[in-house]
Structure 1
Amino acid sequence: MAAAAASLRNHEPITEPPPPLLRRLSFGLQTWAFKGLVNCALPLMRWRDPSKFQQFAPTYTKRYDIRPSLECRVFIPSTYESGQKLPLYINIHGGGFTIGEPQLDDPLCHFLANKFRYVVVSLQYRLAPAWPFPYAVDDCTELSLAVLKDTELPVDYDRVAMGGQSAGGNLILAAVQDPRLLPQIKALVPIYPVVDFSKRYAGDFRDRPADSEGQGAKKDILRPISDLFRWAYMPYYQDRTDSRLSVIYADRASFPSSIYFIAAQYDKLCCEAFQMAKKLVGDDSLKEEENWDKNGIRWERLSDAMHGFIEQDWKRGSDGEVNPWSERIEGVLSRMAAWLEAVFQKEREPVL
């Protein structure tokens, strides 16, 4: 934790006292009601249309002694041949640290494994508010280390990346700061990540306007839930500049040399993700609306997209499709895979 601790020395702690009792009760009731609704809806979705989910099922599931209550979902390419060593992609799901499950990322993990021939391991972590910060970070750190020690996986451990969406993007950026994990990870792919709980770098909500025909207007989907997730995940009096919580406060040495930020135009989190990407590069002239690649940091903002665009696009896919995404989303994932391959290749080049 030395790197993470060092990154805080130049920042005054930012803390918040507990909100008034009635507001706490309101947050608690809303959060647990929302969790209950989601926990009922997910199995119902799988029951109503099992084939749509079964086609993306993992090759197998596994539990590690370090966290025996948490299930890891392992995806091996269908074209895998015995003896091959493939790159590893460790995936961490989103859900505001409060809801969700690894199964929601099965279509993504299945696609990455079979389209680009990765071994993909999708991690589970304990959820807030029962398990607030830093439990999820610790779970993801320890499970990632366990995966990297797993000799049964057909993995080339010189080609390892981590990726995650939303809260998952935060957790990969937090977990990798552990000095045991950092040297083993070559690249990170945070997708519309949460990076700032201090509110110093946060932007406003971004509603998508209607098109020229008056169609397509949508509220930023984080509007009704961001305060609930924030309340659920952060303990009272927690320092908001802790770099494992607000990862934007971590210094450059706390991360791998290669990071690919993928963001959405109409997403409150876009602003803070861009501020972090720009901060890591050290160049204030960079523009959010432009895609760029500089000093190992790559930035891509998908225009006219909203938070969660990967999951939303999959929901529009038709039943029975091996690839459930639109051409646009497949393009994003293809660019990500090509970038990872270039990173792995560069890491293998001898130093002259």
Structure 2
Amino acid sequence: MFGSDSEFCRIISRETGAIVLDSDYAKAPENPFPAAYDDLCDVVAHVLANEDGYYDTSRITIGGFSAGAALALVISATMPKDTFRAVIAFYPITNLFLTESGRPYHLEANLKEPPRLPPFILNYCSKAYVSQTAALDDPRLSPHNNAPSAFSGQLLLVVCGFDPLRDEAIALGNLLQEEGKNVHMVDIPEAMHCWDKDGNVGIENDLKRATAYGKAVEARPNAYDGKPVNGLGWALRRGNRAVAFLEGTNAPYHTKFSPDRTFTIESSRSSRKIKINVFEPPNFDKNKKYPIYLNFHGSVFIIPALGTDSDFCRIVSNRTGAIVLDCDYAKAPEWPFPAAPEDVKDTIDYILTNKEGYLDISRIAIGGFSAGGTLALTAGASQSKGVLKGVVAMYPITDLSVDHGIRPPPPISEGNSNPLPSSLLQLGYRSYISSGTDLLDPRLSPINTDISSFPERILLIVCEEDPLHDEAMDLVERLGAAGLQVDLKEMPKMVHAWDKGAKERTPAGAARHEAYEAAVDILTIIFR
């Protein structure tokens, strides 16, 4: 599993300025205890020797995941005091000698998924690791074998709600707190062991990972108050990627609607796969022909947020009779412009092949939210005229040349807050637009897209208190002057992405209903 923590290591290095050493170690049964412990002690000794001269050996943090976290804990407890500033342990094994009855294996059953750590796996690993000659109370073997006073004074313990190892880790954390250690416990709800290594499971998993990794970024002396945290909503910059989520009651709107199915297509320009969630209309019949609506989520071009528009996608499919494809796309900084619009083109090209046979490719509409709206508005620049019949753009970014560090945001009504600060926009733009990019490229900003590339019908939803309001109005004016049919709906006193946190029977909820109804109405006309 060496290398499976690379994303985490890169985040820590970029966000803290630290040198991160992702270290391998000996594995059982070929190399049982204490080989792994000895290997990591050798790594620590190398760092302390500081032969290269650029390590600050007064500021060393050690950490790991699962068995690696157990090793980090025992090394911190058995090496000289003050060797480590802090320990970061993700879902650690803290007591190798608990029996099956001593662990809550029933927790994994709550998710109705195959267990990650069934009893036989842990039993096998323990027996393979612990040689017959090992003393079971050896402090190098299990964190549980060490006195609380031996551990580092600063610890972060990340535990998972549905992990059989959860209770023993919390028990260790409580013991260390009683000893006066500064222990911060982050309890990730409804998560299984190694949940953060799951790929492409949607926004909720990303939120959980952001919560835990964000706490690791913050790990430093006196950073914590020792109180357990259970919940989501912390912000984390992934290198140059901003994963910015709102807290508390303003958390992103999560829907109970799930797609009918999911599939992937190949990117034509890389080894990546493009994930697509499918929403089928009621009484779907493969022998019929259905119009298609392509939706692209908001992201500031850097946030992985596929699935946050599921409620909208389900409504559109049910009300218009269309097959709605909620499409992922490449994110910066790993994949800067033009990777995202190329993914949009690949998706449209795939639809035009109509491999399933039930797509009416004479009735294709496209749309999106925020940056997804940008991609929808510029999609026509890569397609023949007439392929796309209409576009629905919710609070889109329309001019990426705007410097939001200079342009002041609009006034905000009492009770509102701006979810799109200039720092986030600037970070997104810097990550998305590489040096040397032609800012006039028609695929980059809708304001520069040729008029002939836009479809016949356009609906723009614009928020009064959105930093993107004025540039969207400039686009409306440009399109209108060229004679295009633009339906504009301004949402008074609404902020960017207000619909994602709107609650029913509130002004924001009513505004969301109004905006979504406007989209349904225009798409119904387009699909006739």
TM category (shorter chain) comes to 0.7 to 0.9
Residue of structure 1 in register with 2:391 after alignment? 188
**What is the TM-score of this pair, normalised by structure 2?**
0.50
Q: 1:62 aligns with which of 263, 269, 277?
A: 263
1:160 correspondence with 2:359: no
Post-superposition shift, 1:153? 5.9
Partner amino acid for 1:176? G
1:230 correspondence with 2:429: yes
1:296 correspondence with 2:482: no
Q: Residues 232 and 44 from structure 1, CA distance in 2 versus in 1: closer, same or farther, beyond 3 angstroms?
A: closer
> Counterparts in 2 of 1:271-290, with a 5 A limit?
271-282=470-481
Post-superposition shift, 1:256? 1.1
Alignment check: 8 A CA contact 1:90 1:122 kept:
yes
Q: Residues 220 and 66 from structure 1, CA distance in 2 versus in 1: closer, same or farther, beyond 3 angstroms?
A: closer
Alignment check: 8 A CA contact 1:203 1:269 kept:
no
Q: Distance between the aligned counterparts of 2:411 and 2:519, measured in 1?
A: 27
Post-superposition shift, 1:278? 0.7
Partner amino acid for 2:257? F
Q: Deviations over 1:38-83 (max 9, x none)?
A: 96415699x989xx96831111111224466221111102332453
Partner amino acid for 1:169? G
Q: Residues 154 and 308 from structure 1, CA distance in 2 versus in 1: closer, same or farther, beyond 3 angstroms?
A: same
Post-superposition shift, 1:118? 1.8
SS at match of 1:266: coil
Residue of structure 2 in register with 1:96 after alignment? 300
Residue of structure 2 in register with 1:262 after alignment? 461
Q: Deviations over 1:202-248 (max 9, x none)?
A: 953124132xxxxx142353334111111111101322222211220
Post-superposition shift, 1:311? 1.2
Q: Distance between the aligned counterparts of 1:296 and 1:226, measured in 2?
A: 29
Moved over 6 A (4+): none
**Higher relative contact order, chain-length normalized (CA < 8 Å, sep 6+):** 1
1:41 correspondence with 2:230: no
1:312 correspondence with 2:516: no
Partner amino acid for 1:184? V
Q: Distance between the aligned counterparts of 2:362 and 2:335, measured in 1?
A: 33
Post-superposition shift, 1:192? 0.6
Q: 1:197 aligns with which of 378, 384, 400?
A: 400
Q: 2:381 aligns with which of 154, 163, 177?
A: 177
Please, which runs of 5 or more residues in structure 2 have no aligned partner? 1-13, 17-202, 212-229, 233-252
Q: Distance between the aligned counterparts of 2:255 and 2:511, measured in 1?
A: 24
Name which one, 1 or 2, has greater alpha-carbon Rg.
2
Alignment check: 8 A CA contact 1:208 1:220 kept:
no
Partner amino acid for 1:64? I
Residue of structure 2 in register with 1:245 after alignment? 444
SS at match of 2:383: coil
| Number of equivalenced pairs | 287
RMSD: 3.2
Q: Residues 132 and 228 from structure 1, CA distance in 2 versus in 1: closer, same or farther, beyond 3 angstroms?
A: same
Q: Residues 326 and 56 from structure 1, CA distance in 2 versus in 1: closer, same or farther, beyond 3 angstroms?
A: same
Alignment check: 8 A CA contact 1:197 1:241 kept:
no
Partner amino acid for 1:267? D
Post-superposition shift, 1:266? 0.3
Please, which runs of 5 or more residues in structure 1 have no aligned partner? 1-27, 31-36, 211-215, 284-293, 319-324, 346-352
Q: Residues 161 and 43 from structure 1, CA distance in 2 versus in 1: closer, same or farther, beyond 3 angstroms?
A: farther
Post-superposition shift, 1:103? 1.5
SS at match of 1:104: coil
Q: Deviations over 1:152-203 (max 9, x none)?
A: 16332222110101100111122221134x4211001111111112228995
Q: Distance between the aligned counterparts of 1:48 and 1:199, measured in 2?
A: 36
> Counterparts in 2 of 1:73-222, with a 5 A limit?
73-152=277-356, 154-180=358-384, 182-199=385-402, 204-210=408-414, 216-219=415-418, 221-222=420-421
Q: Distance between the aligned counterparts of 1:124 and 1:219, measured in 2?
A: 25
Partner amino acid for 1:86? Y
Post-superposition shift, 1:96? 0.4
Alignment check: 8 A CA contact 1:207 1:219 kept:
no
Alignment check: 8 A CA contact 1:66 1:146 kept:
no
Alignment check: 8 A CA contact 2:266 2:274 kept:
no
Question: After the TM superposition, which of the residue ranges 259-268 and 248-257 deviates more from structure 2?
Answer: 248-257
Post-superposition shift, 1:143? 1.3
Q: Distance between the aligned counterparts of 2:501 and 2:487, measured in 1?
A: 24
Post-superposition shift, 1:310? 2.1
Q: Deviations over 1:276-312 (max 9, x none)?
A: 11101118xxxxxxxxxx7411111111111002212
